[in-house]
């Protein structure tokens, strides 16, 4: 993406999916599918992407919102994963600096050797060596992460109240934290759209169309109009994450291809602010690390004036059950925080919201027939595994490596389509939609000066993180409409104009799309009465009937109430 000119997206026209023969059709609008759509469009393929819900509404939205640099893999001696994660984090920072910010992580140290400052700093030295080259990928000196450092016990206690712990201070390293992982996925989707990809949320894949052993497309249903149709495609990529087997299990000889045989359900809670730094606390839960520093970690991360805490751990047998946060997940996180930070005295009354996400644990039948395979991802050529031509499955487990999975999958796509325009490894760096600026610091200074007579610094910073270089277009859309500058939620800078923008420019179709996928207000304590102006504006712009608007409100309030019920322990 090189153009700095903003262009309005086309209106929703699902009929193009039925009327076009695509080179590649991607099922799944999470981080892996989004990158695939962008890379396919970038290389000139006629590309379609469909997502049964909203973009990034499932696993990709349910992370800690971190671009992990891979430091956790040090304890497992998986040095290749450390370096891969650090390089992939750098790719995101290069592609969209405004969508993430550096956050300092505190790792408390203790007197025993395995948790000592000396031992941890030795690990950090190895980490720095494994990250060599990261800054070259980022390219911008202002976006380089600050250096790793150490602080004393007194300094740690001033930053975070841990006086009851017999610690010796902490080691401080930095990660990149996203305002919203959904907006990172959206920026990738929008970049693919700018290059000609036909991407649609709320379109589900109900099956594959086939001729003999050849997949010829996807049977689909528009969940908005309920129209059913077939998408014709030379190649189909199933990138539906934990839900890939809902389709793949219907294939001939499905048992010969790898399938997911376990799922983890991880939950996060949002609470009153506990610390203005992120902190990694050890828990009593078993870790799979080869060097055990005391158990699996729980993170406390500052987010939008609150604390984001995760992750709990639970195993489930199926991806199709109730995936909402449960009371026992909350107990697990409360116990971990009150054990690691006793002075926090965190209770259920301090919890504002929470969410859960499903992650594939592992797959079976991994053998030489798999095109690419590891504990982190599988890329499956179904022609080799179960004799089905025209189908690839791309399964990832980590947000940060979504681009890498796509890059590896592109090698197989190019091979399958036998397109001489593309080399086997042709995926090039690019700036994402909204990142058309040379320096984010310069952009910020310019916009603060330009808009400080109309908006607070907090609001301008928020709009910059949401829209980047498209901030002018967004603010122009609300300039002459005072009602669109009304606040949406107590304590947050979001305004009604973001709802209009989400509908006009970001494919929001449902109330939940706005509250969770475009603003995160569904996680920030929005009240039922604050939903009405949002629903009324959506009804006006999308042509909802009164009954439809009430259904949207009822469904969203039920979702909010379900979370609150788990928080109360019901």
DSSP H/E element including 330: helix 327-340
Q: How far apart, in whole angstroms, are the C-alpha atoms of residue 128 and residue 4?
A: 35
Q: Mean pLDDT over residues 287-308, rounded?
A: 73
Q: How confident is the model at residue 207 (pLDDT cuts 50, 70, 90)?
A: very high
Please check the confidence at residue 517 and state whether its pLDDT lies above 90: yes
CATH class of 101-178+262-360: alpha beta
Provide the pLDDT confidence category of residue 529 given band limits of 50, 70 and 90. Answer: very high
Percent of the chain with pLDDT over 70: 92
**Statement: residue 362 has pLDDT above 70:** no
Averaged over 443-448, what is the pLDDT? 98
Other CB atoms within a 10 A radius of the CB of residue 21 amount to: 13
Q: What is the mean pLDDT of residues 231-249?
A: 96
Least trusted range by pLDDT, from 108-117, 483-492, 556-565? 108-117
pLDDT for res 297: 81
Q: What angle do CA 204, 49, 45 make, to 5 degrees?
A: 150
6 pLDDT tier (thresholds 50, 70, 90): low
| pLDDT for 360 beyond 50 | yes
Out of 73-82, 193-202, 327-336, 480-489, pick the least confident. Answer: 73-82
Residue 427: band (very low, low, confident or very high) from pLDDT cuts 50, 70, 90 = confident
Residue 420 pLDDT > 70, yes or no? no
At 142-196, the pLDDT tens digits run 999 999 999 999 999 999 988 888 899 999 999 999 999 999 999 999 999 999 9
Q: Which residues are within 8 A (CB) of 226 and not within 5 positions of it... i.e. 6 or more apart?
A: none
130 pLDDT more than 70: yes
The residue among 54, 65, 61 whose CA lies nearest residue 28 is 54
Q: Which of 359-368, 401-410, 544-553 has the lowest mean pLDDT?
A: 359-368
Confidence category of residue 289, pLDDT binned at 50, 70, 90: very low
CATH superfamily of 440-568: Alpha-glycerophosphate oxidase, cap domain (1.10.8.870)
* Per-residue pLDDT at 376: 67
pLDDT tens digit sequence for 82-128: 999 999 999 999 999 999 999 999 999 999 988 899 999 999 999 99
Q: Mean pLDDT across the stretch 457-481?
A: 97
CB neighbours of 70 closer than 8 A, spacing ≥ 6? Answer: 81, 82, 83, 84, 85, 86, 89, 130, 400
15-59+182-259+364-417 topology per CATH: FAD/NAD(P)-binding domain (3.50.50)
Element (H, E) at 236: strand 228-238
Average pLDDT score, the chain: 91
**pLDDT confidence band for 314 (50 / 70 / 90):** confident
Question: How confident is the model at residue 284, as a pLDDT?
Answer: 61
C-alpha span between 181 and 520 (Å, rounded): 10
Statement: residue 49 has pLDDT above 90: yes
Tell me what pLDDT residue 291 has: 43
533-540 long-range Cβ contacts below 8 angstroms, 24+ apart:
533/486, 533/488, 533/496, 534/488, 534/496, 534/499, 535/511, 537/496, 537/499, 537/500, 537/503, 538/499, 538/503, 538/508, 538/511, 538/514
Write out the residue limits of the CATH 3.50.50.60 domain(s) in the chain: 15-59+182-259+364-417
Per-residue pLDDT band for 323 (boundaries 50, 70, 90) equals confident
Q: How many CB atoms lie within 10 A of CB 4?
A: 11
Per-residue pLDDT band at 292 (split at 50, 70, 90): very low
The percent of residues in the chain predicted with pLDDT above 90, rounded, is 78
**Cα separations in angstroms, 105 against 202, 448, 454:** 37, 28, 35
- Predicted confidence at residue 151, as pLDDT, reads 95
Is pLDDT at 3 greater than 80 in this prediction?
no
pLDDT of 262: 81
Q: What is d(CA 411, CA 424) in angstroms, rounded to the nearest whole number? A: 5
- If pLDDT is split at 50, 70 and 90, which confidence band does 363 have? low
| pLDDT at residue 486, as a whole number | 97
Give residue 9's pLDDT.
66
């Amino acid at each position: 993406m090189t153009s700095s000119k903003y262009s309005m997206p086309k209106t929703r026209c699902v009929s193009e999916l039925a009327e076009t023969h695509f080179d590649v059709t991607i099922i799944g609008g999470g981080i892996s599918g989004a990158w695939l759509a962008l890379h396919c469009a970038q290389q000139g393929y006629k590309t379609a992407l469909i997502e049964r819900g909203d973009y990034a509404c499932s696993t990709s939205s349910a992370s800690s919102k971190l671009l992990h640099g891979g430091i956790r893999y040090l304890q497992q001696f998986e040095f290749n994963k450390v370096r891969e994660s650090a390089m992939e984090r750098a790719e995101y920072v290069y592609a969209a600096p405004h969508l993430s910010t550096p956050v300092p992580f505190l790792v408390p140290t203790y007197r025993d050797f395995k948790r000592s400052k000396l031992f941890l700093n030795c690990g950090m030295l190895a980490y720095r060596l494994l990250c060599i080259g990261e800054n070259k990928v980022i390219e911008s000196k202002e976006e380089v992460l600050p250096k790793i450092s150490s602080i004393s016990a007194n300094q740690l206690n001033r930053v975070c109240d841990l006086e009851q712990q017999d610690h010796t201070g902490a080691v401080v390293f930095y990660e990149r934290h996203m305002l919203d992982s959904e907006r990172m996925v959206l920026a990738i989707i929008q970049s693919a759209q700018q290059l000609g990809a036909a991407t649609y949320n709320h379109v589900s894949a109900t099956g594959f169309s086939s001729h003999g052993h050849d997949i010829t497309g996807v049977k689909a249903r528009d969940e908005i109009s309920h129209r059913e149709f077939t998408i014709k495609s030379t190649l189909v990529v199933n990138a539906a994450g934990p839900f890939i087997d809902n389709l793949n299990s219907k294939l001939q000889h499905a048992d010969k291809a790898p399938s997911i045989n376990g799922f983890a359900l991880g939950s996060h809670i949002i609470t009153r602010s506990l610390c203005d730094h992120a902190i990694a606390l050890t828990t009593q839960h078993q870790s799979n690390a080869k060097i055990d520093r005391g158990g699996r970690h729980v993170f406390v991360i500052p987010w939008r004036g609150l604390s984001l805490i995760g992750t709990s751990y639970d195993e489930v047998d199926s991806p199709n059950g109730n995936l909402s946060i449960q009371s026992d997940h909350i107990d697990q996180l409360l116990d971990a925080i009150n054990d690691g930070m006793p002075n926090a005295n965190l209770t259920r009354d301090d919890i504002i919201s929470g969410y859960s996400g499903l992650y594939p644990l592992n797959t079976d039948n991994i053998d030489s027939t798999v095109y690419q395979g590891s504990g982190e991802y599988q890329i499956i050529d179904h022609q080799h595994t179960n004799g089905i031509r025209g189908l690839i499955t791309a399964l990832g487990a980590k947000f940060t490596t979504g681009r890498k999975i796509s890059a590896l999958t592109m090698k197989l796509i190019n091979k399958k389509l036998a397109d001489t325009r593309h080399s086997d490894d042709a995926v090039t760096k690019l700036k994402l939609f909204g990142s058309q600026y040379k320096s984010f610091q310069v952009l910020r200074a310019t916009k603060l000066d330009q808009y400080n007579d109309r908006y607070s610094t907090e609001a301008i910073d928020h709009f910059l993180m949401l829209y980047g270089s498209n901030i002018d277009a967004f603010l122009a859309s609300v300039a002459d409409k005072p009602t669109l500058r009304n606040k949406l939620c107590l304590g947050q800078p979001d305004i009604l104009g973001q709802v209009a923008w989400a509908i006009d420019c970001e494919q929001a179709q449902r109330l939940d799309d706005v509250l969770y996928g475009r603003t995160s207000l569904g996680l920030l304590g929005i009240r039922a009465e604050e939903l009405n102006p949002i629903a009324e504006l959506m009804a006006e712009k999308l042509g909802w009937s009164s009954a439809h608007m009430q259904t949207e409100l009822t469904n969203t309030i039920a979702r909010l109430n379900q979370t609150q019920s788990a928080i109360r322990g019901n």
